[in-house]
Amino acid sequence: MDLTPENDALQFRAAWAAEQAQQSVIGVLMIEPEKLTAEIMQRLRPEDFTDATFRTLFTACRQLWLDRKPVDPVTLVDRVGGAYRDTVKEAMIATPTTASWETYCRIVADYARLRQLQNLAAAVLECEHADQARELLLRAQGMLAQRESIRISGYQEMAKDFLDRTQNPAPAEFLDWGFPALNERLFVTQGRFVVLAAESSVGKTALALQIAMGLAKSGRRVGFFSLETSQEDAADRIIANRADVALPDIKRRRLTMPDWVKITQSMSADQAVPFELIEAAGCTVEDIRATTLMRQYEVIFVDYVQLVASKGETPSEQVRAVSMGLHTLSLQLGCTVVGLSQVTPPQKNNQGKRPELSKENLRESHQLIHDAEAILILDLADLNDYGSNRILKVDKNKDGPCTRMILHFDARHMRFDYVPPYEDPAVAGARERVEKMDANREARQAAAEAERAQVKMDELPDGEATPWT
């Protein structure tokens, strides 16, 4: 690839600035080693130094630090040899100030990443097959998503951040699951990994699409990676849910004029919703990461994790790798990941009934249990009736209690609705009477205490000082 004179000059200035920054990092390490060595070692690695001489010096400084030996000009020259004495001296002289050490580190790291990306770009031009270029581009996407450094906070900093967050008048932003009863118990922010599991034909994809569209309606950019449901089938379910039109009528094309009116109104209301469905059959976690970065999704759904392509000799090893990959993706990209999962139902007992599903029934790998911030289990209320209500159980919740609730599933319209807990009227009446009696008892006790206090005041001799005067 030919470079224009302007580009050639820009690259020369970038390389010169990076070399000066690398020299200054060595100078800072020699001038204030006790204060700044640990900080610099956290931010930079030897491979970040493109100049071989400075890479050798930094590697030696790092080894001295790891060996808990002094990092200074004498020990450094002793480690690398006398040939580097003048280079170390020049680095100390050329360093303008140690106060700008963070800027030096940033320049070194940025240029190292730029060189790596340029090398990958050059390698792409030499590729003979598209698969080779695709693999290199995925590596580039991964480099862009990496954190610049780990984050370490002392308690004082954590306490200050806590006060800032809790005193902020703006309400905390958690994902809206579409069911107030669930929102009150499940607090999920950006960068989390959530698992939604169920048996086949119970409705987990329909529930996921309903939640996804609700999140998109609230303004979040949502990507739905479908590894088994086609775009056409997903569209049919979404329209049935949003427009309140029966799915069988959509499938058989028996739509009436009132149906078309509702569909048109629904499409008009949802046309700007930031929801996208990706037909992802055969995709890997790296493919999902690349698309998420490119489309800048805030929340992604993966339907379902057992179908994501992965290396491994057994299905358990493959799902384990996928779970760890999706968990890492959520942390690195700050994107909430909702992974749908199949389950392996427990064995039936002697009466022919099986126990209720739990997180232990997630198919293939327990890695999902370890990686997930929250696990939702969708099950039939009546195991012998697919038309029965559904039980939605929060079986893992790091930031709140586990709970369960009843949802009504309207299969004709692919819609779930919350069913409030039922309380027998006689039981409710008895409870209300007990609560009223307790309230009256507390009021009578408070009145009696006030009367006794007044009697004591009246018994004091005239002119005698009260205890608080």
pLDDT digits (tens, 9 = 90+) for 294-349: 888 999 999 889 899 888 888 888 888 999 999 988 988 889 999 999 888 888 77
With a pLDDT cut of 90, the percent of the chain lying above it is: 30
pLDDT mean over 267-291: 87
pLDDT at 403: 87
268: enclosing H helix or E strand: helix 257-270
Domains and CATH numbers, the chain: 5-145 (1.10.860.10), 180-419 (3.40.50.300)
Q: Are 393 and 177 in contact (CB under 8 A)?
A: no
Q: Look up residue 36 and give its two tokens.
A: 């700044």
Q: Are 159 and 338 in contact (CB under 8 A)?
A: no
Higher pLDDT among residues 158 and 252, named by residue: 252
Indicate the range of 31-35, 38-42, 435-439 predicted with least confidence.
435-439
pLDDT at 464: 53
**pTM of the predicted model as reported, rounded to 2 decimal places:** 0.64
Residue with tokens 């200074």: 72
pLDDT at 191: 86
Residue of 157, 188, 162 whose CA lies nearest to 174: 188
pLDDT surpasses 90 at 12: no
Q: Which amino acid appears at position 223 of this protein? A: G
Beta bridge partners of 396: 375
314-324: buried (b, 16+ CB within 10 Å) or exposed (e) per residue?
Answer: eeeebbbbbbb
pLDDT digits (tens, 9 = 90+) for 116-141: 888 888 888 888 888 777 777 766 76
pLDDT at 261: 93
pLDDT mean over 236-249: 91
Report the C-alpha gap between 79 and 60 in whole angstroms: 7
pLDDT surpasses 70 at 151: no
CA distances from 313 to 22, 46, 123, 339, 348 (A): 44, 35, 30, 22, 30
pLDDT surpasses 60 at 463: no
pLDDT surpasses 90 at 364: no
pLDDT surpasses 90 at 30: yes
Q: Confidence class of residue 54 from pLDDT cuts 50, 70 and 90? A: very high
pLDDT at 196: 92
pLDDT at 175: 84
pLDDT mean over 104-113: 90
Report the C-alpha gap between 58 and 24 in whole angstroms: 11
pLDDT mean over 282-304: 88
Q: Give 110-136 as a DSSP string.
A: HHHHHHHHHHHHHHHHT-SSHHHHHHH
Q: β-pairing, 336-341 with 193-198?
A: parallel
Report the C-alpha gap between 218 and 116 in whole angstroms: 39
